[in-house]
């Protein structure tokens, strides 16, 4: 793991103010593992790994960066994560696990991490009322500076922009030159009281045209589409816009053509992170131009569905299980 400690900045009240306060990246204190210096990842995800505070006071690590990275590794990819936070510490009456403690041991050799240091990790409290999730952000780790990427990570086959709390500057994403750039923009559609923390509200997705024209895929949930419809349509008109629809599968807009792909029925034990699982599986498949959007969508639907059967990182299925499900469900097609 690599640690980088930028100067502290006071809380910012809006996106423009936070962008103006970003400090230049400094790498003098970086310590990089040998594997980080020599290996180009297949899959790079950028976003906060979060501390999710449970009702009993315990902390579970989460966030798109974690779930998508574990999924990509389970599917055979070499994975890199650029995040920001503070982990493996007792802080603010929380015991925050180390990131390494939640990575399945059999996948550890497929992971590289760069952690830009912060005073505290981004912390969520999630409360479920009927079918609705009410979120509160109590702490924010601050912006991720993509100038902190090791140079060879920029050559990853897939780069996944996975903000969960407006920590990734969309303007920095516009300059990426990877073969395939995908985004799950939920963190760009969230706002909350920045100085004190508080309830999260959804806001419309607004991205610079340079990033929209660079994206190969954008994935949102059925709950988010109201706030992101125009951007999904723009990306889908050129490449791949996707709306995940829980048990009903996914809608894929590919080159302006819409595909409705049904889901796969399984016994659900835990739905946490299913959208992030779908995204990683879809991006990996869709990055291969020889695989159709329909096949990539079906593959991602199957991976996400099978992940619902268990709780936590171990729930992500092996490729052989996914292929078996697809063969059974689509025999004769």
pLDDT at residue 3 above 80?
no
pLDDT confidence of residue 10: 42
pTM for this one? 0.87
**CATH number of the domain residue 199 falls in:** 3.40.1190.20
Tokens of 34: 């040998």
pLDDT confidence of residue 268: 77
Tokens of 63: 């966030």
Q: pLDDT by residue (tens digit) across 99-138?
A: 999 999 999 999 999 999 999 999 999 887 776 778 999 9
Q: pLDDT by residue (tens digit) across 132-174?
A: 778 999 999 999 999 999 999 999 999 999 999 999 999 999 8
Average pLDDT, the chain: 88
Q: pLDDT by residue (tens digit) across 282-331?
A: 999 999 999 999 999 999 999 999 988 876 666 888 888 998 999 998 87
**Which DSSP state fits 144?**
B
Gap between the Cα atoms of 79 and 111, Å rounded:
5
- Residue whose C-alpha is closest to residue 117's, from 140, 85, 82: 85
How would DSSP label each residue in 259-319?
EEE-------S--TTHHHHHHHHHHHHHTSTTS-HHHHHHHHHHHHHHHTTSSSGGGSPPH
How many domains would you assign to the chain?
1
pLDDT confidence of residue 29: 36
**What residue numbers bound the domain in which 59 lies?**
2-329
Gap between the Cα atoms of 223 and 158, Å rounded:
26
Tokens of 60: 């579970």
With tokens 């809608």, the residue in question is 251
Which strands make up the sheet holding 198-199, listed edge to edge?
59-62, 50-53, 123-129, 132-139, 198-199
Q: pLDDT by residue (tens digit) across 224-283?
A: 999 999 999 999 999 999 999 998 999 999 999 999 999 998 887 777 789 999 999 999
Beta-bridge partners for 80: 44, 112
pLDDT confidence of residue 128: 76
């Amino acid at each position: 793991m690599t640690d980088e400690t930028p100067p502290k900045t006071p809380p910012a009240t809006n996106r423009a103010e936070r962008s103006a306060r970003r400090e230049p990246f400094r790498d003098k204190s970086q310590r990089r593992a040998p594997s980080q210096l020599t290996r180009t990842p297949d899959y790079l995800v950028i976003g906060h790994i979060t501390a999710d505070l449970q009702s009993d006071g315990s902390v579970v690590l989460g966030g798109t960066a974690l779930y998508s990275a574990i999924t990509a590794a389970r599917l055979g990819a070499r994975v890199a994560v650029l995040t920001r936070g503070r982990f493996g510490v007792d802080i603010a009456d929380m015991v925050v696990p180390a990131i390494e403690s939640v990575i399945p041991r059999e996948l550890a050799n497929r992971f590289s991490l760069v952690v830009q240091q912060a005073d505290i990790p981004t912390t969520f409290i999630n409360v479920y009322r009927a079918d609705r999730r009410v979120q509160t952000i109590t702490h924010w780790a601050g912006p991720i500076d993509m100038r902190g990427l090791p140079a060879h990570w920029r050559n990853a086959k897939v780069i996944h922009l996975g903000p969960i709390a407006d920590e990734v500057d969309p303007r920095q994403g516009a300059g990426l030159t990877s073969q395939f750039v995908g985004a799950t923009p939920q963190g760009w559609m969230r706002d909350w009281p920045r100085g004190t923390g508080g309830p999260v509200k959804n806001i419309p997705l607004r991205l610079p045209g340079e990033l929209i024209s660079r994206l190969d895929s954008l994935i949102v949930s059925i709950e988010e589409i109201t706030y992101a419809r125009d951007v999904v349509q723009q990306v889908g008109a050129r490449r791949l816009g996707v709306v995940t629809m829980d048990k009903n599968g996914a809608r894929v807009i590919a080159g302006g053509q819409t595909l409705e792909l049904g889901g796969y029925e399984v016994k659900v034990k835990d739905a946490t992170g299913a959208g992030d699982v779908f995204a990683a599986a879809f991006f990996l498949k869709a990055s291969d131009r020889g695989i159709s959007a329909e096949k990539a969508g079906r593959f991602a639907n199957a991976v996400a569905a099978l992940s619902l059967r268990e709780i936590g990182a171990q729930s992500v299925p092996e490729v052989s299980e996914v292929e078996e499900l697809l063969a059974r469900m689509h025999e004769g097609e």
